Structure 1
Amino acid sequence: MFERFTEEARATVVAAQEEARLLRHASIGAEHLLLALATRAGTPVAATLARFGVTPDACRTAISPPEALDEADAEALRLLGIDLHAVRERAETAFGRGALDRPPAAPRSPLLRRAGISARLPFGASAKRALRLALREAVGLRSGVIGAEHVLLGVTALDDPAVVGLLRRLGTSPAAVRSALLSGLRPAA
């Protein structure tokens, strides 16, 4: 199937893998495809997404919200008898500075690093389904290739909870994005 992908669609899949890796996720999901599409600045697909507030930074935040507890969280824990600052201080005294911070990304193999190759993340079920739907969208639109626009149509047709939730957090819906993209794809009469 990937032989039918345009260069832009292939670049999107590669970018999705890199985004999943940077977010320290174990596999590539449909949400990473959406994020990757938003990162492709200057493309019609990225422009459509940006009109709905689906930007790379907004997507990254919506996919992996900050893990740090704020003062309201600390106050709620204090009411339960837990002093968050004291817990952090004890952990850092026992295990070193930053002991409770997010673990670093797994190091790549030195052999792969020397060859300029990064270990590939597997496609999750939602990403696989989105790419199959992208093929169906391309066929339905009578396109001989699968472009980035078809990938976005596949992602928005999926009804994946991660994608739906992400778009809702950004103030839109798969149906709205899909409708705008399709109206942009239709030739002017």
Structure 2
Amino acid sequence: MQLIQETPDLSAYLVADEAIDHHHPLVRETAAELARGVANSYEYARAAFEFMRDTIPHSQDSGDLRVTWRASDVLEQGTGICYAKAHALAALLRAEDIPTALCYQRLDVVHGLVAVRFNGTWHRQDPRGNKPGVDAQFSLDGERLAFTPDPASGETDWPVLYAAPHPIVLDALKSADDRPHLWETLPTAL
């Protein structure tokens, strides 16, 4: 699949916004901790991915009813669904000047991922969190995502790389009172 940048301006994929608030002190502190002892940006990106995948549980898996959407809130509260975890990973990567995009799959609902840019190429990553049957890994050599869409079931990978969270996704997160409410309003299309 050919990934398509929403904007040709690569600097757009380094910007902070209301969801990817990489200037927030907690995001900066977490990024600095993760950067200690790593030799290069590739090692940092792997460490940030593994931190987000393994340390911040997916709220559905953990039974947490809270809904987070801002990167700093994900880090502070230690929970999030795929979109929120993607926002937090994007913030951690952008905090270290690694261009990071948000991207999506259509499964039974819209699923959120990130793409990192290394050596002139985008590489999609899924920080959702592993569990039985889900084994996402950081990879610049072929995708190791949590889910593979089934085209026969109407599932697909959307090729657009967004510089900011898609408004439909952000609206769903921000308007949900709790995770059960969010589950009733998850978008099924962008």
- Structure with the greater alpha carbon radius of gyration: 1
Higher strand residue share: 2
Q: Which structure has the highest helix share of the two?
A: 1
TM over 0.5: no
What is the TM-score of this pair, normalised by structure 2?
0.27
- By relative contact order (CA 8 Å, sep 6+), the higher-ranking structure is 1
